[in-house]
Structure 1
């Protein structure tokens, strides 16, 4: 009994640390704290700064003034239309999982979705909306990127708190290891890797169907079923040229990675890359993009960039997609253990209602939380994932736990059926960056508190 009491005492101390750390950060940095509510955790509105500690939220009024017009970049993208409005107009096309059916969006639904998005409202202001980034941080990015050899460690540290829209393509290529840090080699490397991808298209994709093996035909059909379901709230992704591009690069990825092959959910992982790299060729808000401005040459370049960055992203989570998905099962188990250790009340309530974490967290881990957030926040999340590098799969454990616990008050009041419905359709449509930043901050604190206490996260 003495050992059990000591263990409880340690857990209580860690819980106190989480809460007092949040309060201290608020006091030191002048941040407002918020009581625990159904809308989010008891945390300051904070980012993790380039120094690696939670820092002042970039959404503060003085930061917005300092950033000035145009700092958020990409033409008018930062002030675009609605992120969440597009989904509501296409409701008839959704299946039971909240995804589009195999037929995709009709022209009428596309037109209605675009009109709704252009009307504004919801989701923080646009499909690629970004909160203002302080001018001093933007200058730091430019300074790093102008060096003859980019300091990748410094770039990761700075990018963790968000990358300016106009710099995302270059920064993401660097963080993914797609571009070398030496500026003198970047143009040559980019051209070579794009040629390599272009050579894969006739070798693997542009071949008669009858020349494919049974496994290849099955993979082709699976990709063809999933692509129309991709990002239902982003109408531009349902343009024929984009659908064909997604089909091509996902099929080629699967054929070239036979250990796992293509797995459902991978289509979601490529969408942030696709949006960011397309933005180099399509000016203005994403809601106003037109497929007529694209041609096959441009799409092959964008595809190549997406392909190589996707390769790097999945490299660290390959066992998430191999047979029986052991990586996902381990991750879900560790999320459950972490929640049990730091918020026993939530864990006990889920157990008492016979809710298994696999019922909701499998999709979170499989799709890296993309399906749980407005699209603009998925882009922001990718900044942090890529900044984490090979350790991002570990950070995903803490992020998923923090995401779950941001609803702690509501969860403990719901019974089984309502719990399942709530966890599978979380009300995040109106979330903007402050809500995500609070979850990222809590994930950072959880990792700081539990990262060295691996006995609390038994591997199973």
Structure 2
């Protein structure tokens, strides 16, 4: 599928073709009733979406020219609109603006091309082996050696050369794949750089360094927060010998792009890029809170399964995200970061969790 058609699916303003949803994923349910419901929903949302797009275009200006000025003048309006969801047809551009990656690209002309064409990576075989595992049900990545897989390879290879300390780790493919559905290779590369090197928020490269130091810190913080907000569930997890590494590692490593519904992952990423990693903690806590009464009845094996397979009603962004926003974690995250660092006897730059959060 050519990129223009994918953009139309992502915009959500045209019906999907048979067997493919509006995001470009092969549908599991091809029933006519599901198609009819989808068409009716799109028709009902069409005019509302057009109004939202006009507001966003006015806010960001041509090519993003008014964005920084608008953010300075009306930060609360920006935050509110991002939490409601960025219009899909503008998502790629807005993600670049709020992540700081557009500035990185402009400051480094020709660097991406140099990395892709002229440099070699020690991780090339690992990247090639994993390419087909990234969004295997999406039409852009399904064709072996097709444009999607080539673009994904290029971005991951370029990053593995750009940051040889990190190189390539499998979870990075989910991040790069998601970005490529909304922007060019070069744009996706610089957004990956912005995330891992900390262009706006604290650097996240510790998610992929040897030993996964930032993952370990995040899991410690999450476990403490879970026990503070949901003490009965925390006690139940202790009794069943459940710890966050058994179910929450992928939440942080892939920022919910792995195994979570795509429409929910997109809404989380809108907020994640603007407000920082705290939204991952908030969504995780909200999921456990929503399913609390069911989880507390389960024993080890069924509990592990439930924690890796949340029910469909728990994945509704219009229910889950407001619940997540209501959970205040920023100050406590900083306290728990300091506690973790003292406990481990050092302060790690890559394990600086919460960073400067937008309030």
* Same fold by TM-score greater than 0.5: yes
- The aligned residue for residue 221 of structure 1 is 125
Question: How far 1:348 moved relative to its partner?
Answer: 0.9
Number of positions where the alignment pairs a residue of Structure 1 with one of Structure 2: 311
SS where residue 354 of structure 1 aligns?
coil
What is the DSSP-based 3-state SS (H/G/I as helix, E as strand, rest coil) of the residue aligned with 1:76? coil
Instruction: State the superposition RMSD in angstroms.
Output: 3.5
Give the equivalent residue in structure 1 for 2:59.
144
Structure 2 CA distance for aligned equivalents of residues 81 and 223 of structure 1:
29
Whether 1:380 aligns to 2:256 is no
Task: Give the SS at the match of 1:397.
Answer: helix
Q: What residue is the counterpart of 1:445 in the other structure?
A: 326
Q: 1:204 aligns with which of 107, 111, 119?
A: 119
2:150 matched residue in structure 1: 244
SS in 2 for 1:370: coil
Q: 2:343 matched to which residue of 1? A: none
> 3-state SS of the aligned residue for 1:372?
coil
Matches of 2:16 and 2:266, distance apart in 1:
13
Aligned to 1:355, what secondary structure does the other structure show?
coil
Structure with greater Cα Rg: 1
Aligned residues of 2:290 and 2:314 also touching (Cα < 8 A): no
Give a deviation string over 1:370-403, Cα, whole Å, max 9, x none. Answer: 1131223222222111222xxx123322222222
1:32 aligned partner: none
Structure 2 distance, partners of 1:452, 1:115, is 42
Task: Tell me if structure 2 keeps the 8 A contact 1:156–1:175.
Answer: no
User: Deviation at 1:368?
Assistant: 0.9
Distance of 1:119 and 1:314 partners within structure 2: 43
Kept after mapping to 2: 8 A contact 1:82/1:120: no
1:166, distance to aligned residue in structure 2 (A): 1.6
Structure 1 residues 200 and 369: CA distance shift in structure 2, 3 A: same
Whether contact under 8 Å (1:398, 1:444) holds in the other structure is yes
Contact persistence 2:226–2:234 (CA under 8 A): yes
State the 1:274 CA deviation: 1.2
User: Is residue 266 from structure 1 mapped to residue 183 from structure 2 by the alignment?
Assistant: no
Pair 1:84–1:332, CA change in 2 (3 A)? farther
Equivalent in the alignment of 1:368: 255
Cα pair 2:130 2:170 within 8 Å, conserved: yes
Distance in structure 1 (CA, Å) of the matches to 2:214 and 2:246: 16
What do the CA deviations read for 1:301-350 (whole angstroms, capped 9, x no partner)?
Answer: x1111111111122221111112111111111111111111111111111
How is 1:233-312 mapped onto 2 (pairs within 5 angstroms)?
233-239=137-143, 240-277=146-183, 302-312=184-194
- Preserved CA contact (<8 Å) 1:226 1:264: yes
Structure 1 portions without partners, runs of 5+? 1-69, 88-112, 181-188, 206-215, 278-301
Q: Is the 8 A contact 2:287 2:314 kept in 1?
A: no
Query: Which region of structure 1 is more displaced relative to structure 2, 154-163 or 164-173?
Result: 154-163
Describe the SS at the equivalent of 2:224.
Answer: helix
Is the 2:215–2:249 Cα contact (8 Å) retained in structure 1?
yes
Q: Distance in 2 between matches of 1:311 and 1:425?
A: 31
